[in-house]
Amino acid sequence: MSTHVDRDSVMTDRPPKKKSQVRRVVMSGLIGTTIEYYEFFIYGLAASLVFGPVFFPSEDPLVGTLLSLASFGLAYVARPLGGAIFGHFGDRIGRKKVLVVSLLMMGSATTLIGLTPSYETIGIWAPIMLTVCRIVQGVSVGGEYAGAVLMTVEHTEKKKRGFMGGIINTGSSWGMLLANLVFLAVVQLPDEDFMSWGWRIPFIGSAILVVIGLFIRLQLEESPDFEKVSSEGAVERFPIVRLLKMHGGKVALMALCMLPSGVAFYTAGVFSLAYGPQTVGISRSAMLVQVLIMTVIMIIGIPLAGKLGDRFERRKIAAVGAAGLVFAPFAWFSLINTGEPLFMFFGFVILCIPYVANYGVLAAYFAQVFPTNLRFSGVGVGYTLGGIASSAIAPLIATALLQATGSWVPIAIYMAISSAIGMVAAIRLRETPDTITTDLKPAEA
């Protein structure tokens, strides 16, 4: 015998939250996500610029970079584990507590990376220690995104969920912007100083940001939607099991929806930092400036796209953005290869416009795909699986294709195919009404 407890207005039948509380939740989510992704991206920057010779020495610099980027991708393998663990507890004990734990884990791992000796000092233990810290980073981020998005969306009235979710989605861009600014400062050091100790500053200094983030998160109120689920006695004992039994198809489609934005963002934001200096002959500083400009465009555009999603169907906006990312990589690479700053700028603009359309609506879109009492698990697992299929391997595949062919064209084709797959997935994945469900009948994707 199965039961189905339908709450068609789980979010709307509660008293409205005060605007000050909503602003506090949005700000805390944005700051926390920015801190998480700052720490995540400084690893990506260091993987492109430093970790090859420091932790993975090789006679061929490109091979060292390839091994370094492989360690970058390991965190994405750990992300689904984090999504499952934090999703389980987020659906059982609440959103707030897991967000505090995820931030503590990320901060500890990042600081330890900054303190890890080089391969020259301790040999094979150096890359082992680096890898362990990277995996801990991945597990923590696996719970961060879902928790920050749900805390925000679940505190916000329906007509503003897309805009507020878009603000949270800029956390990745703010994190990258901050990481690039810090690295832009330390790369001004003489090469010998930068390679020996300068690169460690962004990692060790992140401890200050973690303290600030923890202070903010400890002031939060629990999600009203989780409180509603708890008061109705609808908390699942094993939410992951119920999720996969009832909504496995939606989890898969959500993961595929991540392909366009994940591949585009990490190819442009991580791979390009090695591609520009090594292939085009652009200085590290000049390439960092271009990526910095890209992040500013994203910070402005993503909330606007999210707001557009409050007026029109989000899945269609996501699909249109993905369609644009089928063609944009070819123009982006062509303009990057000129080596001219103005043309490179236009290349990043061409890539960013469809990216923000696609990524800007995903927060509110994903938050309303699953029933409320399975929502943390659904978003956490779907998002992290999508990260493996896109973000984790994008820099690695791009580097391998460049090494094998010596051309950017196969990389652009790879980006286009990924975007086409994501476009189809977005067309098929539909939002559902706000419900609390214990129905054992599998839902259609």
Select from 408, 384, 386 the least CA-distant residue to 397: 408
Angle, CA 48 vertex, CA 273 and CA 359 arms, to 5°: 60
pLDDT for residue 38: 83
CA distance 399 to 276: 12
- State the amino acid at position 262 in one-letter form: G
Q: Which ranges of the chain have pLDDT less than 50?
A: 1-16, 59, 437-444
What local confidence, expressed as pLDDT, does residue 227 receive?
75
CA-based R_g, the chain, Å? 21
| pTM for the full predicted model | 0.78
Q: Are the beta carbons of 141 and 6 closer than 8 angstroms?
A: no
| Residue 364 and residue 162 in contact, taking contact as beta carbons nearer than 8 Å | yes
Instruction: Parse the chain into domains and list their residue ranges.
Output: 19-428
Amino acid at 291: V
List of residues 6+ apart from 60 with CB closer than 8 A:
none
Residue 262 CB partners (closer than 8 Å, separation 6+)? 386, 387, 389, 390, 391, 394
Are the C-beta atoms of 251 and 243 separated by less than 8 Å?
yes
Residue 70 pLDDT? 65
Pick the CATH number of 19-428 from 1.20.1250.20, 2.40.50.140, 4.10.410.60, 3.90.1530.10: 1.20.1250.20
Task: State residue 68's pLDDT score.
Answer: 62
Closest residue by Cα to residue 168 from 357, 25, 370: 25
Q: What is the DSSP string of 118-170?
A: PHHHHTTHHHHHHHHHHHHHHHHHHHHHHHHHHHHHTTS-GGGHHHHHHHHHT
94: left (phi over 0), alpha (psi -120 to 50) or beta: left
56 secondary structure, DSSP code: S
pLDDT, residue 327, reads 95
